[in-house]
A and B are shown apart, each in its own frame.
Chain A
């Protein structure tokens, strides 16, 4: 129950607004103006069986997509997605991928990570969820977005 509440809380609070710039600009007259707030959020999909991988490689794989969206252009975005499997004991990491900071696609208002997956070894039912976090440069400052959980933990026919 605690874990559920923790996830729910993380999803709600982090989906609304993550980055709030604390800097202020001094105007020529000496007054202090607050610049528009930098608002970013990460959206993480639930774990699913990838149709693209099945189609192109003929293999079953569990996949989680995520995107980082901001109201200002981001650059050097490292959006990391982790796939966790639930089982006996604590959930354990099965795969993680990050966008490359220097990649031309790792900038702009929206950056996606659509290549995080783990191949299934068999069709044993297993429960998975995704967690995403990001690091980016926005208006010359470095920001870190804390981890955001996928909404649901889903049981898939995929043993890893």
Chain B
């Protein structure tokens, strides 16, 4: 069992990680207004389909959390890619959904 994260990830993995987390930051900055509008709408619960250049993604929000999925090649099903717990605090919910939107789009862009 690796105690040190550095033992677990190669130089290449670490480089990938840095570009991925940096891309999330960049997307959040670039799309802040769109993400916040969408997050406010979704905050009470619901789903939104994101048609991105690399595929179709779905953001789902309910009382407990926010998840995102991508449409599989068969065109019918969605594979769940991520989920985060949401609190009941409205501002915290919007922040967390905004983060999830940036993450979903980063994964789509970086093909993760």
- Of the listed residues B13, B17, B25, the one surrounded by the most CB atoms of chain A closer than 10 A to its CB is B17
B5 A48 Cβ-Cβ under 8 A? yes
* Residue total for A at the interface (Cβ-Cβ under 8 A): 40
- Known A-B contacts A95-B84, A102-B72; A115 and B79 likewise in contact (beta carbons under 8 Å): no
CB contacts (< 8 Å) of A142 on chain B: these are none
Given contacts A95-B83, A96-B82, whether A45 and B25 have CB atoms under 8 Å apart is: no
With A48-B5, A65-B9, A104-B111 as contacts: A98 and B79 at CB distance below 8 Å: yes
Residues of B near A104 (CB, < 8 A) are 111
* Cross-interface CB contact of A103 among B20, B21, B96, B111, cutoff 8 Å: B111
How many angstroms between the C-alpha atoms of A65 and B5 in the bound complex? 8
Chain B neighbourhood of A16, CB < 8 A: none
* A94 lies within 8 A of chain B by Cβ: yes
Taking CB atoms, residues of chain B closer than 8 Å to A98 are 79-82
Name the interface residues of A21-48: CB closer than 8 Å to any CB of B: 43-46, 48
Within A47-98, the residues touching B (CB, 8 Å) are: 48, 50-53, 55-57, 63, 65, 67, 78, 92-98
User: What would be 7 A-B contacts, judged by CB atoms less than 8 Å apart?
Assistant: A48-B5, A57-B21, A57-B22, A67-B8, A98-B80, A105-B112, A114-B17
Taking Cβ atoms with an 8 Å cutoff, the residues of B that contact A are: 1-3, 5, 8-9, 13-14, 16-18, 20-22, 24-25, 70, 72-73, 79-85, 92, 96, 99, 107, 111-112
Residues of A participating in the B interface, judged by any CB pair closer than 8 Å: 11, 43-46, 48, 50-53, 55-57, 63, 65, 67, 78, 92-105, 112, 114-115, 118-119, 121, 150-151, 160
